């Protein structure tokens, strides 16, 4: 018989995976892995500001991640630096600011390891509600914007010509990323969020012939990674968050075994640009 805290952890992992899978497909297609890292690193600044302002951490992380996204868009329009340089500046600046701010708060005990690598076994019933409610919101918006996002991923120029407003879709996508990072922070931690976005989606690409199938497959593979990682953590007494990522890595390595027909040769999936 499994303990209640472990059952909650399994449900939390599945709920997160069902959200990060489809969203991670766009991260892979759009080559936005570094952007995901930047958003994740900004979470520490959000945590520090949440403690200073005495507000909910999910709200603080979401607000900071959203501000970082908007800052990136504004700086890109100025055209003075390349996108990767801007992401590097924002990523390391927000991480450093967060660490400095935490160092000043000597009156607060902060478990940095818990924030960096997550503590899914500490998920409460309230957290579960937030995970599934936030996940449902993200998936609902993603489904509504699926066609414009997909068109903008394939060709922003064609999407613009057809009146799909790719810039607006991109902004909404960034805000969805901010929301997912706020939700995922407690589960897998700041340093492992990007892995849960990228690895299941990269694995799913080998088995799916269409974007929709890839999104569903990524969600299922992420859920399998969460369950497998948690049971592995229980069996071998290893950290739960990293164990989930290791399980996802194991599935990815298995997907590299050659087989007769792969989705990569199908030609219907968006090419990474």
What is the predicted pLDDT for the residue at 91? 92
pLDDT in tens, the chain (273 residues): 678 999 999 999 999 999 999 999 999 998 888 888 898 889 989 999 998 888 988 899 999 999 999 999 899 888 788 888 999 999 999 999 998 998 888 777 777 777 888 889 889 999 999 999 999 999 999 999 999 999 888 888 888 887 888 888 889 999 999 999 988 887 888 878 999 999 999 999 988 889 999 999 999 999 999 999 999 999 999 999 899 999 999 999 999 987 654 444 445 677 655
What pLDDT, on a 0 to 100 scale, did the predictor assign at position 221?
97
CA distances from residue 29 to 46, 64, 106, 211 in whole angstroms, order as listed = 28, 25, 43, 10
The tally of CA atoms less than 13 A away on the side-chain side of residue 133 is 7
For 144, counting Cβ atoms within 10 Å of its Cβ (0-12 exposed, 13-18 middle, 19+ buried), the class is exposed
pLDDT confidence of residue 204: 95
The pLDDT, as a whole number, for residue 244 is 94
**pLDDT value at residue 115:** 80
Token reading at 231:
């049971």
Confidence at residue 211, expressed as pLDDT on a 0 to 100 scale? 93
DSSP assignment of 69-103: HHHHHHHHHHTSS-HHHHHHHHHHHHHHHHHHHHH
Q: Quick one: CATH architecture of 4-265?
A: Orthogonal Bundle (1.10)
Q: According to the model, what pLDDT value does residue 260 have?
A: 57
Please say whether the beta carbons of 188 and 120 come within 8 A: yes
pLDDT computed for residue 264 by the predictor: 46
Long-range contacts of 227-233 (CB under 8 A, 24+ apart): 227/10, 227/13, 227/14, 229/13, 230/6, 230/9, 230/10, 230/13, 230/120
Domain boundaries in the chain? 4-265
Question: Quick one: DSSP state of residue 121?
Answer: G
Q: Which of 272, 266, 259, 240 is nearest to 114 (CA)?
A: 240
Token pair in block for residue 272: 């990474």
User: DSSP letter at 267?
Assistant: S
- Do the beta carbons of residue 21 and residue 31 sit within 8 Å? no
pTM summary value: 0.89
**Dihedral of alpha carbons 151, 156, 161, 166, sign:** positive
What are the phi and psi torsion angles at 65 (to 5°)?
-65, -40
**pLDDT given at position 268:** 65
Tokens of 196: 């849960």
- Distance in angstroms (rounded) separating the CA atoms of residues 207 and 209: 7
Say what the pLDDT of residue 1 is.
Answer: 66
- Quote the pLDDT of residue 271: 65
């Amino acid at each position: 018989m499994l303990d209640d805290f472990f059952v909650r952890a399994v449900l939390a992992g599945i709920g997160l995976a069902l959200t990060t899978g489809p969203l991670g497909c766009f991260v892979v297609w759009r080559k936005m892995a570094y952007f995901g890292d930047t958003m994740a690193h900004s979470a520490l600044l959000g945590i520090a500001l949440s403690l200073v302002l005495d507000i909910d951490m999910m709200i603080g992380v979401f607000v900071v991640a959203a501000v970082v996204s908007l800052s990136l868009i504004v700086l890109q329009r100025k055209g003075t630096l390349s996108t990767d340089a801007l992401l590097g500046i924002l990523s390391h600046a927000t991480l450093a600011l967060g660490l400095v701010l935490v160092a000043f708060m000597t009156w607060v005990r902060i478990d940095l390891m818990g924030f960096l690598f997550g503590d899914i076994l500490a998920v409460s019933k309230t957290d579960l509600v937030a995970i599934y409610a936030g996940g449902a919101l993200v998936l609902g918006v993603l489904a509504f914007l699926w066609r414009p996002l997909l068109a903008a991923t394939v060709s922003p120029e064609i999407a613009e010509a057809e009146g799909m407003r790719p810039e607006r879709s991109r902004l909404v996508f960034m805000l969805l990323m901010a929301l997912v990072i706020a939700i995922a922070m407690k589960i897998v931690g700041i340093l492992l969020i990007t892995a849960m976005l990228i690895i299941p989606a990269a694995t799913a690409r080998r088995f799916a012939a269409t974007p929709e199938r890839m999104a569903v497959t990524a969600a299922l593979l992420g859920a399998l990674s969460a369950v497998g990682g948690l049971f592995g953590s229980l069996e071998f007494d290893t950290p739960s968050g990293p164990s989930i990522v290791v399980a996802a890595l194991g599935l990815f390595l298995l997907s590299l075994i050659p087989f007769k027909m792969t989705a990569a040769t199908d030609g219907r999936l968006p090419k990474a640009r």
